[in-house]
Amino acid sequence: MPLKNRILGKTNITVAEMGLGLWAVQGSEWGKADDKESLEAIEKALGMGANFFDTSDVYGDGHSEELLGQAMKGWRGKFVVSTKIGWRGFTDGHSGYTTVDKLIAGIESNLKRLQTDYLDILFSHINFHESTMPVFVEGFAKLQKQGKLKGYGVSTSDFEYLKKFNADGGCSVVQIDYSILNRTPEADILPYCAEEKIGLVIRGPLAMGLLAGKFTKDSKFEQGDFRRNWIEKPDQNKVFLEDLAKVEKLKAVAGGKSLAQLALQFTLAHPAVSVVIPGAKNPKQVEANVSAGLLPPLSPAELKELDSITPPNGGRKIWPA
């Protein structure tokens, strides 16, 4: 059975409901990674029917985009490419892209690393100070008119910021953190996007690996892996331990599937969701993740049981968007 397809908001782009997030590459904040395995992961995802690939200019300082560009050689038409811009030169809440010309020059660098002349989706990477917002909206709209973008939006979990970004109705896609452990978007962002016909790209569906069920209170993280904060910072460790307790309860609901598959199916169950983009470092992880989209959907009874463990509209994340 092939992956199901969904329409990506106002863009009318058809995407498989399971995609691949490409943050965890060599040089990123996820510990060790291998370029060969990253390329094989992309190939595996494409071979399983996934076509949406998400990256950013700051993942591995641009290395993630370079790898995706390498993987796309001769196959560009098979890929729906999503990338982000905005963090470079970030200071005191403000993006370094203070003018439309600077922003467009930055986007040209995205295109160069990806070895393509157009982007399917471009996001403002997180919500910067509102004074910068008009630069991104104007610059994105200009490039869309030129045919260099099929759609644009913002990566944020801030509902008020999203509404302001979409004030002119031009935002066609939003990327948010959403999982069984972080159901807060159900209260506002998910219904708003459904009403506005804004496509929803879901990052963090496995809660940075927590919903893979492989961590314990004694887990260790490599130097350079931001998840060390879950152990070393008291405030994050408190939430980490609370989430581990929920994970143990969720395992009992999974039944014959893995906890990760259950978590991914949960995000796919919401009708407003367009595509879910779990990260993966190697083909084995990709196969496990994408296969969740090949399983029968969660039953009302299963969803009700999940509600009893993590109530609707609730939960919290331990890493900023």
Catalytically annotated residues: 59
Taking each continuous run of H as one helix and of E as one strand, the counts in the chain are 11, 10
Residues whose CB is less than 8 angstroms from the CB of residue 200 and which lie 6 or more positions away in sequence, other chains included? 9, 173, 174, 175, 176, 190, 193, 272, 273, 274, 275
Q: Return d(Cα 180, Cα 232) in angstroms, integer.
A: 24
- Single-letter code of the amino acid located at 176: I
Cα→Cα distances 96→90, 101, 238, 300, Å = 5, 12, 34, 47
Q: Return d(Cα 66, Cα 156) in angstroms, integer.
A: 24
Task: Locate 255 and state its tokens.
Answer: 């039944």
Altogether, the residues listed in the chain come to a count of 321
Query: In this structure, which long-range contacts are made by residues 127-134, counting pairs with CB atoms below 8 Å and at least 24 apart in sequence?
Result: 127/154, 127/156, 127/158, 127/161, 127/165, 128/86, 128/90, 128/93, 128/94, 128/95, 129/93, 129/94, 129/95, 130/161, 130/164, 131/94, 132/94, 132/95, 132/97, 132/98, 133/161, 133/164, 133/165
Q: Return d(Cα 188, Cα 117) in angstroms, integer.
A: 35
Cα→Cα distances 19→13, 16, 43, 113, Å = 14, 7, 12, 20
Residue 146 in 3-state DSSP? Answer: coil
Cα→Cα distances 38→52, 73, 208, Å = 15, 15, 17
Neighbours of 28 (CB within 10 A): 22
Task: Locate 154 and state its tokens.
Answer: 């913002």
